[in-house]
Structure 1
Amino acid sequence: MAAIIELSRVTKTYGRAPQPALADVSLRIEQGEFALLMGPSGAGKSTLLSLIMAMEQPDRGTIRVAGRDVHRLTRASIPYLRRNLGAVFQDFKLLPEATPLENVRLTLAVLGLRRRDVLARAREALARVGIDPRSRKPVRCMSGGEQQRVALARALAGRPPILLADEPTGNLDPALTRDILRALSLVRAAGTTILLATHDPVVYHHAGASRVLHLEMGRLTEDRVLERAPSFVAELDAQGEPIDLLAAIDDDEFSDEPLLVDTPLGEVA
């Protein structure tokens, strides 16, 4: 199977730091894999994801996504790369004054979908992570865990072939972590490639990932295939069903709402 993400001898150092954030890292992620990127704080996990997203440049080495060297792309081409990369960041990168639904709809609008399809996808993604799509609360008034779930919904709504997630369960309690892992497992079953950075042992044991990569002080110290229980989703379902937030919502409830703003693709995080 072809690699959809490939790093070859990638090194990244910030300023005059004595220790590189990443040191000579090489790895391949194949299409459809669910890989965990593990390691303590400061190991280089966030740096690696930022480089794949072309948010930063490596000092040395190459990074290919779907066969293309992402750091040879023109500035105008980078937004097209990011259309294929759903991303969940530690700092969320949400619009603070917008509602959860507006945050998700705005990102979907740049994909050229019909307005009704944008609405349906946004509502479905929010409900999947346990956020009521009818909420009028601006995200700045939400807890860190709620904002984290809105950010994940935004990433999932576009149905990207690749999902990059940086500590997506870091602010969540065990019940919500279970629901997020269920959502990720279903997304992976639909063919999405997932690279998830975490230091949470609960995620390691229950995410249903197929592979674990371990970073220590910027170096890849472990690359191991995991045995994944095929009944993982059913196992989670047996522990309790998430609330069906879509069941009581009228299909026409939001149909006349305008999008928040019209934003060029390159300006959407």
Structure 2
Amino acid sequence: MCDESIHQQSIHQQLPPVLLDLADAGPRDRDNSGVLRRLTDHSRKLPGVEATAVISVDEHNKNACTVAAASDHTSGQLAQAQLELNEGPGLEALRTGRRLADLPLDGPSFRSRWPRFVPRSLSEGFTGITVIPLRHEHRTIAALHLHHQHCGHHALPGESVRAAQAMSDAAVIGVAHLRQQRYVDQLQSALTSRIAIEQAKGMLAERFEWTIDQAFELLRSYARSHNTRLHDLVRSILDGPPTEGPFRRTSPR
């Protein structure tokens, strides 16, 4: 059996649990960086790949990018160099959304295409690079970099490129799940806060024979004048005894 067939068999055996690991984002991942770190770790093990990194787009500022993960210091520095130089294959993949596979960086066309980035990559011993964009909802949210050698046509095995693409797609599912979970958590928090406010309004209206609107206005005014979060004020009213706090009952009822 030739080496390529061995590599293909090995990748096919190892890929399913890797895809599940990337797609199954959960409590261990507070943000996208956890998923992207695992993506760099898994893709680094693909045949022909020597180092990996991910540049991601800021979720709240689409014009800002950051190095989200890297398999080692060198790949992280090369990713950061692209951001500082404002050029390189990762930024191009983020801009176009197209995969750049097995590029021979020592070729003249790429030296002129990225005249400042290419010398840095070559100085670190990486003559080839593959960049896979991660796309979610028609937007490119990150770019996976596979650093490797390019000693002839298709130096990086095609199975490695396809496996990295599958891993990237799975990572997108993980990132999307995290974003959805954050949205659900925000809605739940807003709903819980709203319920607490309504309870506090009703409690104060009953305690002082105010209207509901009067109770809410006094809550809001007190929070503003005392530089206190409305949520914290409400919790102190609900959790504390009626004879204590800013709106304590002055006579027993």
Q: Is TM > 0.5 for Structure 1 vs Structure 2?
A: no
| Class of the TM-score when normalised by the shorter of the 2 chains | under 0.3
TM-score using structure 2 length: 0.25
Structure having the larger proportion of residues in strand: 1
Give the structure with higher Rg (CA).
2
Structure having the larger proportion of residues in helix: 2
TM-score using structure 1 length: 0.23
